[in-house]
Chain A
């Protein structure tokens, strides 16, 4: 394994990290919502055939969803250059809560009591993870001879 360079000596400010986490969550939740809505209304059954995927991608909602998910990918890559994967994963899981809320209000999916307890656990878990150091692996990953 090669040495991992952290780039700048000055750590990225915590507030900037949380702002980008918020952006990553929004891009993901909105992208998934548009994708799911578009897929359900595209009027075509998607199979493993690539042509079937391409036809569905022409649907405006699916195309907008894909665009948002590309933005999600790029913003998440930037976030991974600032913070640990094990820090980013729990924090961005707040997107699951948004997905459930969007599912209820926009796609008429059922949200039960267990879902709200789950939402509470996710908030608690992300708050705890959010208090840990965002970057721990810069010095610990060493170059092999």
Chain B
């Protein structure tokens, strides 16, 4: 059950994050104030990809809630970081982000650290 929940978390997080990043890039820079918050909520209601990303995150969230009850938080949080490499690669190829040597090296160091935290 632990691994089923983890698989749901990984798939839903990767898909949700890619959709969310794509839509937020299109939306332009958002403000951190009440007006910005209202605009953000309006966007969630009106943009289908953003809405779908929230649905994915909800799946991921509920699977996470179930996972933390059967596994320690220090397993649940780092294990769900398996999304890390997958998302960075897909961000490069689907979102056309420039993942240079420095960013890739930093990301791999972070991944190594997260895996050590999961031990």
B is a partner of A: yes
Is A93 a contact partner of B69 (Cβ separation < 8 A)?
Answer: no
Is A118 a contact partner of B112 (Cβ separation < 8 A)?
Answer: yes
B60-119: which have CB < 8 Å to A?
Answer: 61-62, 65-66, 68-69, 72-74, 76-78, 81, 84, 87-88, 91-92, 95-100, 102-103, 105-117, 119
Distance of A110 Cα from B57 Cα, bound (Å): 29
Contacting residue for A74 out of B37, B84, B114, B116, CB 8 A: B37
Given A77-B40, A119-B113, A136-B97, are A85 and B84 also a contact pair (CB < 8 Å)? no
Chain A residue contacts of B57, Cβ below 8 A:
73
Given A111-B74, A118-B116, are A140 and B24 also a contact pair (CB < 8 Å)? no
Given A74-B40, A89-B88, A137-B97, are A7 and B119 also a contact pair (CB < 8 Å)? no
Per-residue contact bits, chain A 21-50, to B (CB 8 Å; 1 contact, 0 not): 000000000001101100110000111100
Interface size on B, residues (CB 8 A): 59
Interface size on A, residues (CB 8 A): 75
Task: For A141, give the chain B residue with the smallest CB separation.
Answer: B96
Closest CB in chain B relative to A18 CB, distance in Å: 13
Is A4 a contact partner of B74 (Cβ separation < 8 A)?
Answer: no
Task: For A75, give the chain B residue with the smallest CB separation.
Answer: B32
Is A103 a contact partner of B30 (Cβ separation < 8 A)?
Answer: no
Distance of A86 Cα from B21 Cα, bound (Å): 10
B15-31: which have CB < 8 Å to A?
Answer: 17-18, 20-22, 24-31
Identify the 4 closest CB pairs spanning chains A and B, nearest first.
A7-B28, A118-B116, A125-B109, A121-B113
Please list the residues of chain B having a beta carbon within 8 angstroms of any beta carbon in chain A: 17-18, 20-22, 24-32, 36-37, 40, 54, 57, 61-62, 65-66, 68-69, 72-74, 76-78, 81, 84, 87-88, 91-92, 95-100, 102-103, 105-117, 119
9 A-B pairs within 8 Å (CB atoms) are namely A5-B26, A33-B73, A69-B61, A80-B25, A87-B97, A93-B84, A110-B74, A119-B113, A121-B109
